[in-house]
Structure 1
Amino acid sequence: MEESTDLQIQERKIRHLVILPLPFQGHINPMLQLATILHSKGFSITVIHTHSNSPNPSNFPNFNFEPIPDGLSDHQLWTEDPLTLVSILNDTCQAPFHDRLSRLLSDSRHGPVRCIITDELFHFTKAVADQLKLPRILLGTSSATCYATMSSLDFLQQNGLLSITDGQPDTLIPEIPPLRIKDIPDFSTTDPDTFERLGANALNAMMSALGYIMNTFDGLESTALKKVREDRYPIPLIAMGPLYKFSQGTSNSLLTQDYSCMAWLDKKAPQSVIYISFGSLASIDKTDLVEIAWGLVNSDQPFLWVVRPGSIRGHDWVKLPEGFEEKTRERGQIVKWSSQQEVLAHPSVGGFWTHNGWNSTLESICEGVPMLCSPYLWDQKVNARYVSHVWRVGIQLENGFERGEIEWAIRRLMVGTERDEMRERVGALKENAMCCIEKGGSSYESLESLIDLIMSF
């Protein structure tokens, strides 16, 4: 037994991986899910992470965690837009990442590093990997459809085939249906040059990567994956989602989760509750909060509503309209944060009002829950349009937050024939996702290909 253990330790030493997640919830989650999957396949994992938004090591006792300084203040984390933060991190993290990785390479306790796996937006890792002569694989955290859309837009604009004007937001883009001008990914930033600079650097760093992992599956995005494979050639594209289904039980919430809502859900009828959460970054105005509240009141549907501290612009916390609690006491529950995967998997949840971040969209599809879509920024607009008009498993709120439209949309989502049809379609996608991760499925085979790729270095 002792000899076998020694052999296992030696095997893990030659299967040592270093991962570096971007410190946002939507990027940390899939990276740690991927690490959990690879650890289950015999790899030793070291997580190098920023001090800001650092993961909780106690959730992953089998991983080695190594923090690095990032130079960000709490004020910057709350006030800077995400793209500016990413740009700052690429400037401040290169030297400490190089130093920490160099020390790790000289530490015989962990063994040689087989390769590093980093978030695709950390373009500085190219220089570090080149200097230390380490293979580098990237993880993309958006939908394949979003990447394919961006590639198409670049081509159309460069060839004068696309004229984008502010006055025509509902105009369809013929070359990439069913997207409209207003569905184009929104990468707004306080610095107009930030996105172009970040995009150019990330693309340059991407083209030298030895592999590109995507959190999606063929049964959902086969057409988009084909286009991304053409665009990224000759980089091996590995579509092995949904990652969270491969790594059940993985949790790394940056906010404290309120599990009391699970007991509340237990008392509700099957598929009767609409779950509302706009993710870890989206924010709304106080007037939006009021319209959402009265839309929920007037819909007469049970609801579980996540109101994250700081999610109301200009306020740490906002009181709900007078009379709201009285009118919804028997059918409503409000929490500051929840365990979303567990909530969506609960049998009483019949709909999800979401910002359509890719993780949330995937989780809703994979739990068979139709969506009410209110995209906020980045790739969320593309995701929402595909949810409502391609996969047809949801409804998009097109005109912001207005109580009458909210009431009408919730009723469409939660009751009637349209709801039944959406449930049938999303159920088929859920089944397809489960088939993909089973032995012989496309994502299962992609995982095997990733392991073969890593072991070839």
Structure 2
Amino acid sequence: MLLPNNNLFHYSPNFMADQRTENPHAIFVPLPLQGHLTPSVLLAIKLASKGFTVTFVNTESIHHSITQSSSTTDDVFADARKSGLDIRYVIVTDGLPIEFDRSLYHDQFMECIFHVFSAHVDKLVGNLVESEPSISCLITDSFHVWPLMISKKYNLVNISFWTEPALILNLYYHMDLLKKNGHYDPLEKSDEVIDYVPGVKSIKPKNLMSYLQAKNTNTVTHRIIHKALFTATKDADFVLCNTIQELEPYTLSSLNQKQPFYAIGPIFSNNFTQQLVSTSLWSESDCTSWLDKRPPKSVLYISFGSYAHTSKHDLEEIAYGLLQSGVSFIWALRPDIISSNDTNPLPLGFQDQVKDRGLIVSWCNQKNVISHSSIGGFFTHCGWNSILESIWCEVPMICFPLLTDQFTNRKLVVDDWKIGLNLCEGSLVLRDEVARKVKDLVMDEKSNEMRIEIMKVKRTLEDAVAVGGSSQRNFDQFVSEVKLKIDQMK
């Protein structure tokens, strides 16, 4: 059971496995956001399947959301342990009450993650190391600012987990070069192609991450980026990345010259839709029976992710564009997609007008939906998890980036791999353009061209995770190097 301990919550020592092991024992602290949590859980399972003992740390808020949205018990890794994996589970406060609206008050939440969270993690890690002498590694999301300090304090191997493409991290690593050349803080040369960054052949300023395009660079998120990515992550002993060697060879070659950097993606389970651990922060609607009634590749799936917001204007134009297109669709529409204060974002009467060909839910199991045979396209915000899942299911995309890495991810999808369409050629979302792009994606000849290309990219992913593939080799090498590093630090 869960026991309180000075604002920290952890399982009682009797719950922990009694046996001591020579295998690496890692504390794993993800960033408490859905898009970072999901691959972190999958990586924890992958590590445990290689013999690691993993103590997985969730925040109290994330744990509460998971258990409230599903029938999961207090121990979300219970089923994983039944399959023989040694994954323990602990909970720590992020410094804010559970009921605090972290989406609505994003900056306050990030300030807390920046300044307060580390003190709670420090205390928790100290308690765990004292009770479990076998702990030898600290694995953290690359956006955390404190791993170097805590790993040094407790003599732990410092492993950073980057959940986005390697290209994104490489651009953050070279913010000084971007600033020197007028492409960051401020972005003065908005029309000039960037071709001087090591590991990046060329990129247009409009395809930089939103934080590098921002006029105001004094936000809490910018301070986190500077401290975590421009400084701290560079000092990690190892970096694991949820990408594929063959998709980003030039960038990965550059990064590997700086530090041990391992492309181990995509981090999926052997069965794509298999779910040993519940990670959803919202209750999921089962859309299977609705999808079963639709013809193959006839339905557009729409989801703009778990965190970013959009405007009322854009959402209304998208809704009217869907209406004009005549295409069947399933839309996972978060109630807070505009704001927690506006939970009815669709135009009046829209749901009645599309009820015969559209299903609107607040959340769903995305893997189950996009792997269904009736899905013919994905209208996406370009989160990296969504892109990898879409490629795996051979579903071409319409790209509508909203925040952070999504603009750079769009470049990879549309320009480099040619497996998706860019929604907005201009600065405004317009219903006519939405309708045209939706029809192009699902019904036009362009969709066949993209399907051919996405099949090629999928084969690259499959080859990477196959026995002897690049991701498998990189992961095995990482495990060997970590064990060697642990021995050296004893």
Q: 1:35 to 1:165 in 2, by over 3 A?
A: closer
Partner of 1:96: 120
Q: TM-score, normalised by structure 1?
A: 0.89
Partner of 2:194: 173
Equivalent in 64, 78, 82 of residue 103 of structure 2:
78
How many aligned residue pairs are there? 442
8 Å CA contact 1:14–1:111 kept in 2: the answer is: no
Equivalent in 130, 136, 149 of residue 152 of structure 2:
130
Q: 1:100 to 1:396 in 2, by over 3 A?
A: same
Q: 1:11 to 1:443 in 2, by over 3 A?
A: farther
8 Å CA contact 2:55–2:88 kept in 1: the answer is: yes
Partner of 1:427: 455
The answer to whether 1:40 aligns with 2:28 is no
* Superposed displacement of residue 382, structure 1: 0.6
Could you tell me which amino acid in structure 2 is paired with residue 287 of structure 1? H
2:167 is paired with a residue of what secondary structure? helix
Q: 1:42 to 1:60 in 2, by over 3 A?
A: same
2:39 is paired with a residue of what secondary structure? helix
Q: 1:322 to 1:87 in 2, by over 3 A?
A: closer
Equivalent in 49, 64, 89 of residue 58 of structure 2:
49
* Superposed displacement of residue 302, structure 1: 0.9
The answer to whether 1:275 aligns with 2:297 is no
Partner of 1:219: 246
Q: Distance in 2 between matches of 1:357 and 1:267?
A: 29
Partner of 1:5: none
Q: 1:272 to 1:119 in 2, by over 3 A?
A: same
Q: Distance in 1 between matches of 2:123 and 2:175?
A: 39
8 Å CA contact 1:81–1:189 kept in 2: the answer is: no
Equivalent in 389, 397, 416 of residue 415 of structure 2:
389
8 Å CA contact 2:396–2:419 kept in 1: the answer is: yes
The answer to whether 1:407 aligns with 2:407 is no
Could you tell me which amino acid in structure 2 is paired with residue 21 of structure 1? P
8 Å CA contact 2:26–2:54 kept in 1: the answer is: yes
8 Å CA contact 2:160–2:238 kept in 1: the answer is: yes
* Superposed displacement of residue 87, structure 1: 4.2
Question: 1:13-32, aligned counterparts within 5 Å?
Answer: 14-32=23-41
8 Å CA contact 1:20–1:117 kept in 2: the answer is: yes
* Superposed displacement of residue 204, structure 1: 2.9
Deviates more, 1:10-19 or 1:399-408: 10-19
Q: 1:189 to 1:366 in 2, by over 3 A?
A: farther
Could you tell me which amino acid in structure 2 is paired with residue 79 of structure 1? L
* Superposed displacement of residue 31, structure 1: 0.9
Deviates more, 1:374-383 or 1:357-366: 357-366
8 Å CA contact 2:26–2:135 kept in 1: the answer is: yes
Q: Distance in 1 between matches of 2:201 and 2:474?
A: 29
Q: Distance in 1 between matches of 2:215 and 2:60?
A: 23
The answer to whether 1:236 aligns with 2:263 is no
Could you tell me which amino acid in structure 2 is paired with residue 227 of structure 1? S
Q: Distance in 2 between matches of 1:307 and 1:162?
A: 35
Q: 1:306 to 1:168 in 2, by over 3 A?
A: farther
List per-residue Cα deviations over 1:176-235 (Å, max 9, x = no partner).
6663222221125987153453233223322332110000001222222122223xx1x2
The answer to whether 1:140 aligns with 2:162 is yes
8 Å CA contact 2:25–2:135 kept in 1: the answer is: yes
Question: 1:362-401, aligned counterparts within 5 Å?
Answer: 362-398=388-424, 399=426, 400-401=428-429
Q: Distance in 2 between matches of 1:149 and 1:201?
A: 15
* Superposed displacement of residue 446, structure 1: 1.3
* Superposed displacement of residue 243, structure 1: 0.7
Q: Distance in 2 between matches of 1:338 and 1:189?
A: 35
The answer to whether 1:361 aligns with 2:387 is yes
Structure 1: any 5+ residue segments left out of the alignment?
Answer: 1-7
Q: Distance in 1 between matches of 2:215 and 2:53?
A: 38
Partner of 1:3: none
List per-residue Cα deviations over 1:4-44 (Å, max 9, x = no partner).
xxxx9746464322100110011111111100111112222
2:288 is paired with a residue of what secondary structure? helix
Partner of 1:347: 373
The answer to whether 1:299 aligns with 2:301 is no
Could you tell me which amino acid in structure 1 is paired with residue 177 of structure 2? F
Deviates more, 1:218-227 or 1:70-79: 70-79
* Superposed displacement of residue 162, structure 1: 4.7
List per-residue Cα deviations over 1:154-186 (Å, max 9, x = no partner).
32432x365887787555435566632222211
8 Å CA contact 1:34–1:247 kept in 2: the answer is: no
8 Å CA contact 1:36–1:247 kept in 2: the answer is: no
Q: 1:265 to 1:69 in 2, by over 3 A?
A: same
* Superposed displacement of residue 149, structure 1: 3.2
Partner of 2:142: 120
8 Å CA contact 2:75–2:89 kept in 1: the answer is: no
Structure 2: any 5+ residue segments left out of the alignment?
Answer: 1-16, 68-73, 82-86
* Superposed displacement of residue 279, structure 1: 0.3
* Superposed displacement of residue 78, structure 1: 2.9
Equivalent in 77, 92, 107 of residue 60 of structure 1:
77
> Identity over aligned residues, as a percent?
30
Deviates more, 1:178-187 or 1:195-204: 195-204
The answer to whether 1:450 aligns with 2:478 is yes
Deviates more, 1:64-73 or 1:181-190: 181-190
Q: Distance in 2 between matches of 1:105 and 1:422?
A: 51
List per-residue Cα deviations over 1:411-456 (Å, max 9, x = no partner).
1111222110100101111111011001100001111112212322
Q: 1:90 to 1:312 in 2, by over 3 A?
A: closer
8 Å CA contact 2:167–2:248 kept in 1: the answer is: yes
Q: 1:342 to 1:209 in 2, by over 3 A?
A: same
8 Å CA contact 2:141–2:160 kept in 1: the answer is: yes
